[in-house]
Amino acid sequence: MSQQRPLPDSVVLLVEDDGFVRMCAAEMLVDAGFSVVEAKDADAAWAILLDRSDVGVLFTDIDMPGSMDGVTLAERVHAAWPGIRLILTSGRQRLADREVPDHGLFVPKPYSLSQVLGAIDHVA
């Protein structure tokens, strides 16, 4: 049973470099009723964002390989697409919500379904 109703016409862009964590998070979000697009790093996420107009939530890890980390990605997304809601996560770093661009939220790893759904509900 879904704990959260999906945002209308909206996709969650899940950005996570650990394949197993990404798979589990995607499955959790799909089971909750969300459409999910996956990216293995911020560069891949940026390419997806340039190609799609239906992303409503960016759920990104902070620590990733590539040209930018999750915080930089969130800052760039906020500047280019201010309507996309932002949720950042990390198992190594801790951010205060005020440190997340555009009133987004930080959810520490390991996270639960209820934490992620609560964050999506809060930023929506």
Euclidean distance between CA atoms 71 and 31, whole angstroms: 27
Answer yes or no: is 112 within a domain: yes
Domain containing residue 40: 11-123
Model pLDDT, residue 105 = 92
Q: What is the structure's pLDDT at 6? A: 43
Beta strands per DSSP E along 29-74: 35-39, 55-61
Closest CA to 86 of 112, 55, 43: 55
C-alpha torsion angle, residues 55, 59, 62, 68 (rounded to 10): -10
Kindly state whether residue 3 falls inside one of the protein's structural domains: no
Which CATH number does the domain housing residue 18 bear? 3.40.50.2300
**What per-residue confidence (pLDDT) applies to 9?**
52
The answer as to whether 69 is a domain residue is yes
Query: Which pLDDT does position 96 carry in this prediction?
Result: 81
Domain total for the chain? 1
> Is 66 domain-assigned?
yes
Inside any domain, residue 72: yes
Is position 18 within any domain? yes
pLDDT for res 10? 75
Please report, for residues 50, 111, 124, the alpha-carbon distance to residue 76 in angstroms, rounded to integers and kept in the order given. 12, 25, 19
Could you tell me if 121 and 10 are in contact, meaning their C-beta atoms sit under 8 angstroms apart? no
105 within some domain: yes
**What is each CA distance from 31 to 2, 14, 25, 36, in whole angstroms?**
7, 14, 10, 10
Q: How far is the CA of 86 from the CAs of 58, 70, 75, 93, in angstroms?
A: 5, 10, 9, 17
2 within some domain:
no
Which stretches in the chain have pLDDT values below 70?
1-9
Taking only the tens place, the pLDDT of each residue in 62-92 is: 999 999 999 999 999 999 999 999 999 998 8
